Structure 1
C-alpha cells in the first residue's frame, strides 16, 4: 500500500490535491496506518487513474464522482475512452504530418511555396476541425478533394462578379444558385448531417468565411438570396402569392436562424435519439414557431408546403434537414405535424 506522499509523487499530484479528493469523497484511502496516515491500495490507484483520465477530458470533479459511480465509469470503459481520444490525436497528428510532408517535398524540389497560401490552408484546417473529426473530414470532399475545392473557388469568384451586375432573381443568378446547390450536395457527400455542420460553421465563422474562402457577408447574403429566389420559383407552383410574400419577409428577418437551429437539432438527436428529454421539446417548440413565422398556420398551406417539399428535390437541397430529423421533432412534440 502507498502512503499519500508516495501516491502523490507517482501520480504527479500534490498531497493537498489527494487530501481534497478525500474530503469530497472522490478518492478515499482504503486504510489508515496505526499513526493515522492515509494508505492507498491497488483499487485506489486504479480509481485515481480513471479520475485523471476524466479530468483530461475536461470533466468537473463533481461530474467525475457521479460518472465513476455509474456503470459507464467502469475501468474498462474509461480506458476505452482514453484509447479513443488517443486515436483521434494520432489521426490529427498524422494528418498534420501529411500536410507538412507536402510542404517539405515542394521545398526539397526547389519550389518556393507561397507562405500566405500555406498559412491560409492551416487556418482552414483549424476552422474545419472545430466542427469535424479527422475521420469525418476524410469523408468531406469540399475539404480534402482538390477538384471540389477548385470548383468552390470558381463559384465564389463567379458569385463575386455577378453580385454587382445581376439581381438575385435574375436568370444568371438562378443558374449560379442551382450549380451552387449541386456543388454543396456533392461537396458534403450527400450527407445531411455534414451539410448541417457546414452551414453552422458558415453561420458561426463569418470572419473565417471571408478571410479564408473569400465569402464576405455581402457575398454570402447575395448567394443565399439567389438560392431563395430559385426556391421561391418552385414554391410558387404550390403556394399562394401572399404566402410567398410572407416567406420573403421571414427569410429577410429570421432566415439566418435556421442553420443554427438545424445544427442544434442534429446535436440533440445524437444525445437523445428517442426525443424524450426537455431539450428535444424546447427545440421542437422553437422549430414550430420559426416554421409558422415562415408559412403561417393555415392547414391547407402547411399541407401544400409539405407536399412541395416531398415532390421537389431542389427544395430539400442545402439545408441539412433530413426526414429523420423531422420525425425526431414530431416525436418531441406529438401534435399534428407541420412539415
Structure 2
C-alpha cells in the first residue's frame, strides 16, 4: 500500500510541512514518487517514521535522531517495548495523581478548604520533579511518586523534629536511631541508586517549595547527617584503641559529602560494564582509598581492625549505598593499587 504525503499526514497526525522538513533534511525520504512527482510512502517508510516519532517523544533532537538512525538499526520491537515502558510509567503517575485527587475530593466535601493549597503544591512539585528526573527515574523513587511512602516520610520527619526540639545532640541514642532509620529508608526508597539520591539532594537544597512541602530543610538534613555519622563512630569504638578512635572521631564525616558523588560514579561505571582495571575505575578506587584514609589513617593495622569491624558489626552497612556488588566490582582495582604500594580497606 502506497500513501501520498497528505494521506500519511492525516493518518499519523503529523503535518505535511513536518513531512516535507523530514524529507529536506534526509531524515525520512519517500521510497517513490508518482509520474507527476508526488511523494509516495510505502511499508518500509512507516517503520522508519515510527522510529522517528518514538525517538522524538523520548526527547531526542532531530540531529540526534538522524545520528541514531545512521547507526546500526535498533530493532523496532525494542523501541515499542520502550514506548510501552514509558506508558506504564505515565499510567503509574496518573494512578498516583488520581489517588491524591480522590483524597482532595473527600477533603473538599468535608469542607477542608486548606487542602486545595496542598493540591496546588502537589502539582507544582510534580512539575519540579520533571526538571530533575525522567519519568522512568521517578518510578525508581517511590518517596516522590507513592502517596503512602510520602506519608511515611512525613511521620518520620515529625519524629525527628520532635527529638530535635527537645535539644537532642548527635550523641543522643534516640537521635542516632532515627538518623539510621532515615538513611536506611533513603537507600530503600531510592532503590539504592546513589546517582538518583545525589540529584534528590540537589533538588532539596535548591527548591524552597520542596523544603516547605516535605518539612525537610537543609538544617534538618545536617542534623540527620551528624547523628548518623556519630552512630557509625560509636559502632567502631570497640574495635579501636584510644589513639585510633580519637583520630577516627576527629575526622569521620569531614569529607562525607564526597562519598555520594563517588558512589554515583561507581554505579555509572558498573552500569556501563566498565572493565575493573580500566583507568577510570582505577581513579575511582584511588578516590575511595583517599577518602577512607582521611578518617582511618594509613596504618595497615588500623585498616585490618576496621575490616574486622565490618565483618563483625553488620549495622555498619545500614543506610549505606555500598553494596556487595560494588565492593566486588572495585576489588580488582584495589588489588592493583595495593601492588602499587597502598593497602586499602572499605
Q: Distance in 2 between matches of 1:140 and 1:51?
A: 31
Higher mean alpha-carbon deviation, 95-104 vs 306-315, is at: 306-315
Gaps of 5+ in 1: none
- 1:54–1:64 Cα contact (<8 Å) kept: yes
Q: How large is the Cα RMSD of the aligned pairs?
A: 3.8
Q: Which residue of 2 aligns with 1:55?
A: 56
Q: 1:147 to 1:83 in 2, by over 3 A?
A: closer
Shift of 1:53: 0.8
Q: Which residue of 1 aligns with 2:181?
A: 182
Higher mean alpha-carbon deviation, 51-60 vs 320-329, is at: 320-329
Q: Which residue of 1 aligns with 2:341?
A: none
Listed as ranges, the matches of 1:261-272 within 5 Å are 261-272=262-273
Q: Which residue of 2 aligns with 1:218?
A: 219
Q: 1:227 to 1:26 in 2, by over 3 A?
A: same
Q: Which residue of 2 aligns with 1:151?
A: 155
Q: Secondary structure at the match of 2:59?
A: coil
Q: Which residue of 2 aligns with 1:107?
A: 108
Gaps of 5+ in 2: 339-343
Higher mean alpha-carbon deviation, 268-277 vs 289-298, is at: 268-277
Higher mean alpha-carbon deviation, 145-154 vs 270-279, is at: 270-279
Q: Distance in 2 between matches of 1:127 and 1:9?
A: 35
Q: Distance in 1 between matches of 2:127 and 2:160?
A: 21
Q: 1:142 to 1:42 in 2, by over 3 A?
A: closer
**Cα deviation code 1:206-248 (max 9, x no counterpart):** 2456322333322322221122122212223334535753664
Q: Secondary structure at the match of 2:321?
A: coil
Q: Distance in 1 between matches of 2:90 and 2:285?
A: 36
**Cα deviation code 1:123-155 (max 9, x no counterpart):** 566677856757545599996247733531332
Shift of 1:22: 4.1
Q: Which residue of 2 aligns with 1:245?
A: 247
Shift of 1:48: 0.5
Q: 1:115 to 1:106 in 2, by over 3 A?
A: closer
Higher mean alpha-carbon deviation, 267-276 vs 53-62, is at: 267-276
Q: 1:156 to 1:83 in 2, by over 3 A?
A: same
Q: How many residues align?
A: 333
Q: Which residue of 2 aligns with 1:232?
A: 233
Q: Which residue of 2 aligns with 1:75?
A: 76
- 1:177–1:230 Cα contact (<8 Å) kept: yes
Shift of 1:89: 0.9
TM (norm. structure 1) is: 0.78
